[in-house]
Structure 1
């Protein structure tokens, strides 16, 4: 999830843990603990782009890191706030739960999280919520705003806290239910169309949880389309993209390419953009794909021009957006 959402969630959890004892300081501790796994952004200052995308949400989002950083923060907080009536164990349980919530929620979107690093490079991804979903973030955000203005000990603080954490939790459950429904419909449609596949996933299109991006295919290529929860027609207008693995033969041993294939979890295609060979990671969707079915993929990496790959994960998310695009998204969400 985005950094602001993590800060708001952490602050709410801090208030729940020790708001009566520490006041707003507890919110600061919660916000810090909820944000600290994203310290991996520092790796971008010395790592290559392809190495950095693997480092992000890697070790700092692992269970081992949760344990280690929670213990360190517990020692610091216990010493910093003496005298107090909070045991070291309670501090540890608080920090470990806050950090764990961060890495757990991050697994709900499509980037993937290295829960088992450094023992396993397997990435966990539920593909159930977009990385920035205002319908999830708004509740802890409102709660944080209220908590910042209400005085310590105010009777309404607990109500705002419960609202912020409770509604965001319910929304996550709602997203999982939506995913189950979408997967059921999509797999039925794939079967009816007699589309065979060895790899498959669905993930929400930007900023909501009703229109879903669909990918299914194998080593030859992938069928890509969109499905809304409100679609009445039991069909999907798929576009087919050949994988074009043969284009990689001249650079198959290149370190950047090895990192990209591992990161993509095999969901990739290759094509030429002008004079450059481009690696597309299909998991991040297409640039306004609901409006342009043959549009470029958000994650496109220039294999022969690595200097052009800054912010490779982010650069295409909202490229080409305008009012017409936004209206097209809303119309597509409403269903065919």
Structure 2
């Protein structure tokens, strides 16, 4: 989920914690738990700072080890130790328990996004991405915001947020059913589909589609049960040529390939260099595929420059590469 949603979730966990008698009956405990819940709801995303290094490191590691099983156990200890510096009289056991609840909820809800997490590490490096909830879901954010407002206005926080989470459980079930309905409709349109990626959008009834069949890639949208295919690409295996093998060794290309499950490739030859481009098919926007990885190699197959990330125009891509087109 996005940062704002994780913040309101942290506040909600802090309010829900008032159902715990140890928290509710002691001001120090309630204040410390609220602080811990807010921090715990954010701390798995500490790897966002990897963006300061480069996109390759960020793409390869974001929502990786920081969202793993050991991390879910480790972060509450860190949060508890930190918060106890400000509230030394706080009950450490209950502080840890609600810190754990906040961290666990953060990782758990991220699984339902299209981006997903490596939540099964160290047992599996597979990305777990159910694609049911958009990274920012206005309904989820709105329900949390409403609960916080009611708390400010004097409502009992424990019961308020307990009711809210019961409602959200049903909302997640509805989204799951909606996705299954889209999948069923898509299989009628593309019966030979081998791999189907259905990703939510900001629109409640609209979904992004990326489909792999034996011979083709399909990219489209679904609105309720209606399927629209925008692009169809012939599925051509990535060749094992010296150009491609050298390109794969580049950090940006390697990071892209470790993350993207469905992509197509292009090789362009200019007078003085080759250009290899990998294009993720999941994020089509206004006829453009913005998530790419690109590398340029000279005629002796030395890497000149490379880039991976989100680019919405060819002009901006050339500026990122910082080269003059032949």
TM-score bin (small chain): 0.7 to 0.9
The reply on whether 1:300 has 2:286 as its aligned counterpart is: no
Listed as ranges, the gaps of 5+ residues in structure 1 are: 289-294, 317-336
Counterpart CA distance in 2 for 1:200 and 1:210 is 18
1:82 offset after TM fit, Å?
3.9
Partner SS, residue 115 of structure 1: coil
> Following the alignment from structure 1 to structure 2, what is the Cα–Cα distance between the partners of residues 27 and 123?
31
Answering whether residue 197 of structure 2 is matched by residue 201 of structure 1, we say yes
The residue aligned with 1:92 is 96
Structure 1 match to 2:278: 279
Give the drift of 1:102: 0.7
Alignment of 1:1-336 (within 5 A): 1-18=1-18, 20=24, 21-22=26-27, 23-46=30-53, 48-78=54-84, 80-84=86-90, 86-88=91-93, 90-147=94-151, 149-150=152-153, 154-191=154-191, 196-204=192-200, 206-218=201-213, 220-229=215-224, 231=226, 236-237=228-229, 239-246=231-238, 249=241, 250-252=243-245, 253-255=248-250, 256-265=252-261, 267-271=262-266, 276-283=275-282, 285-288=283-286, 295-304=287-296, 309=308, 312-313=309-310
Structure 1, residues 96-122: CA drift from partner, whole Å, max 9, x if none? 221111111111111120113344321
Give RMSD over aligned pairs: 2.8
Unaligned runs of 5+ in 2: 297-303, 313-326
Query: For residues 64 and 150 of structure 2, what CA distance do their matches in structure 1 show?
Result: 34
Tell me how far apart the structure 1 counterparts of residues 109 and 290 of structure 2 sit (CA, whole Å): 22
Q: State TM-score, norm by structure 1.
A: 0.75
Shift of the 296–10 alpha-carbon distance from structure 1 to 2, 3 Å rule, reads same
How far is 1:180 from its partner?
1.5
Match of 2:126, SS?
coil
* Number of residue pairs aligned between Structure 1 and Structure 2: 290
Bigger Rg over Cα:
2
Q: Please give the per-residue CA displacement for 1:248-298, whole angstroms capped at 9, x wherever unaligned.
A: 841324233232122112x01123799754321123x2113xxxxxx1213
SS in 2 for 1:280: strand
3-state SS of 1:279 partner: strand
More strand by share: 2
Change in 2 beyond 3 A, CA 1:172/1:39: same
Runs of 4+ in 1 over 6 A off after TM superposition: 272-275
Give the SS at the match of 1:127. coil
Q: 1:177 to 1:221 in 2, by over 3 A?
A: same
CA distance in 1: counterparts of 2:196 and 2:225, whole angstroms: 21
TM-score, length basis structure 2: 0.78
Distance 1:124 1:227, change over 3 A: same
Aligned to 2:190, the other structure's residue is in SS state helix
